[in-house]
Structure 1
Amino acid sequence: MTEQMTVKYYYHSGFSVASGETLLVFDYWMGRQGKKLPAAQRITPETLSHFSEVFVFISHGHEDHFDPVVYTWEQYAPVTYILPETMDASLHGRRMGVGGEITLSRHVKVKAFDSTDEGLSYLVEMDGIRIFHAGDLNNWHWREESTPREIEEAERDFQQVMETMRGEKVDVAFFPVDPRLGMMFDAGPNYFAMVVKPRLMIPMHFWERAEVIREYARRSRSPQTEIIAMTTPGDMILLEFDEQENMTVHMQSVTSAPVARNKKVQLEAYDGENPFNDSDLPVDME
């Protein structure tokens, strides 16, 4: 029997995975003042009405990973919130610490892993398919600001978390690929792919730098890991798993704007005050 799951991209690090009457939502955020996610692509009461169980995963409390609007959804559907035990005590839900495991329903269970920033990363199993959302787990070294010692510590901390994941089966992974890090922006996701070997990796946390993410997906996929760039709010893919758990990816509405093999990517600064404007990524100097 074929298992089907629909993956939808919202904005920044926000995704949902739907299967049957179960909906998983990760780090939903509509952008500052709710201006980045078009109304037509938002999760609405009508969206929620199609599901008998909804699980909302919050990796941590940073603005770009937690939109308080998610706590209005329980008016319209049976919603369970999963959040780190370190988040504000006023927020209700199932709280987790590093290494914790919870069976949420007969379809869904979750294991929490550490982060190299605040909060947690989550490995969720839904009907035997394993989905990892990294939250802010990454090799965060800021080359223009960090000292060699700080860079070494960041790499060590990241690799320690990766060792706790070694041997874990991951079918789908959402992982930060953040161009603000400059030349080594792909060090974290590449190391994650090497250690964990997810079957499918979807970049996130790219601050609207879609052209960089498309180029990263083109050149970084491997025989073990397919990479798909979902860069426009509302992009969707359908995953099919057969009885042998072979996975087929159907592109439903993913923006297709591939970068030519020899074309360099023009990296404009995301923030005019960003100290990483002079990126070491391939750029057109003209």
Structure 2
Amino acid sequence: MKLKYIYHSGFLIEFDEKNIIFDYYKGDIPYIDSEKKLYVVSTHSHRDHFNENIFEMFKDFKNAKYLLSDDIEIEEREAICFLEGRKKYCIDDLEIETFESTDLGIAILITTEGKTIYHGGDLNWWTWHGYETQEEYDSMTERFFNEMKLLKNREIDLAMVALDPRQGDRYDWGLKYFIESTKTKYIAPMHLWDKYEFIDKFKEDNKELLEDIEIIDTHKTAANHFEI
């Protein structure tokens, strides 16, 4: 399995028999074998996670399917599967479990070809010091913890999770809690708004927590790839 970063929260995951693209909205698409199965996942309709042009971009792929959160308003077609939060699906040889976002749409866990991968979409502990009431903080925290309970002790090979510098000193709360809740081998931070230096900051701030986990320098996999 190979990971290639596209942009923001967008990734290409290459398997032996298929490719999966997550949350493409802009950036250069790496070469993709059009003869292999292609699954295009969009976790929600926010403009930094979904681009309606994906249907035109991959129209020449013989075996392309689109796995879209059901908040995305678009005309139904044969190749589209709409996904709800907190559901399980079997699509071809993909075993899929979804979770409810703390913002919009879904997070998604996919098992295929002996690997389990997770893309968090906008499921994160979105808390903003000085910009929320206690009631808003408590509601967000409860919603986030409820989804993390569903992921408790899950064995995950690769997780793509938000690490958002806009949250100030709380930039890493969600990712830290995700790591503490799951048994994840590799983490690819995303949603960084081009501030990739926060990956190094996260590593420096959380050395003990990360002793048994590899944090991928996400942006460095764009030109090459990271093999898992």
Q: How has the CA–CA distance of structure 1 residues 154 and 201 changed in structure 2, closer, same or farther, with 3 Å as cutoff?
A: same
Cα distance in 1 between the residues matched to 2:74 and 2:225: 36
Out of 223, 229, 237, the position equivalent to 2:217 is 229
- 1:26 touches 1:133 (CA, 8 Å); kept in 2? yes
Aligned to 1:238: 226
Deviations 1:23-68 (A, max 9, x none): 00000121xxxxxx3xxx325xxx3444420001100000000012
State whether structure 2 residue 67 is matched by structure 1 residue 87. Answer: no
The percentage of counterpart residues that share the same residue type is 26
State whether structure 2 residue 183 is matched by structure 1 residue 170. Answer: no
State whether structure 2 residue 39 is matched by structure 1 residue 55. Answer: yes
**What is the number of residues matched between the two proteins?**
223
In the TM superposition, 1:244-283 aligns within 5 A as none
In the TM superposition, 1:184-223 aligns within 5 A as 184-220=170-206, 222-223=210-211
Q: Which runs of 5+ in 2 are unaligned?
A: none
Cα distance in 1 between the residues matched to 2:32 and 2:157: 25
Deviations 1:105-155 (A, max 9, x none): 23x221111110100001011212000000000000121311122112211
Aligned to 2:137: 151
State whether structure 2 residue 7 is matched by structure 1 residue 11. Answer: yes
Q: Secondary structure at the match of 2:150?
A: helix
TM-score normalized by the length of structure 1: 0.73
Out of 116, 126, 133, the position equivalent to 1:130 is 116
Q: Flag the structure with larger Rg.
A: 1
Cα distance in 1 between the residues matched to 2:206 and 2:92: 36
Cα distance in 2 between the residues matched to 1:60 and 1:200: 24
Query: How far did residue 238 of structure 1 move?
Result: 3.4
Query: How far did residue 225 of structure 1 move?
Result: 2.0
Aligned to 2:85: 98
Q: How has the CA–CA distance of structure 1 residues 210 and 13 changed in structure 2, closer, same or farther, with 3 Å as cutoff?
A: same
Query: How far did residue 235 of structure 1 move?
Result: 4.3
Cα distance in 1 between the residues matched to 2:203 and 2:59: 38
Aligned to 1:66: 50
- 1:13 touches 1:26 (CA, 8 Å); kept in 2? yes
- The amino acid that maps onto 1:9 is Y
- 2:34 touches 2:60 (CA, 8 Å); kept in 1? no
Deviation larger for 208-217 or 158-167: 208-217
- The amino acid that maps onto 1:225 is I
- 2:154 touches 2:183 (CA, 8 Å); kept in 1? no
Deviation larger for 69-78 or 225-234: 225-234
- The amino acid that maps onto 1:27 is D
Q: Which runs of 5+ in 1 are unaligned?
A: 31-36, 241-286
Deviation >4 Å, runs of 4+: none
Query: How far did residue 182 of structure 1 move?
Result: 0.9
Cα distance in 2 between the residues matched to 1:200 and 1:216: 14
Say which structure is richer in strand. Answer: 2
State whether structure 2 residue 97 is matched by structure 1 residue 111. Answer: yes
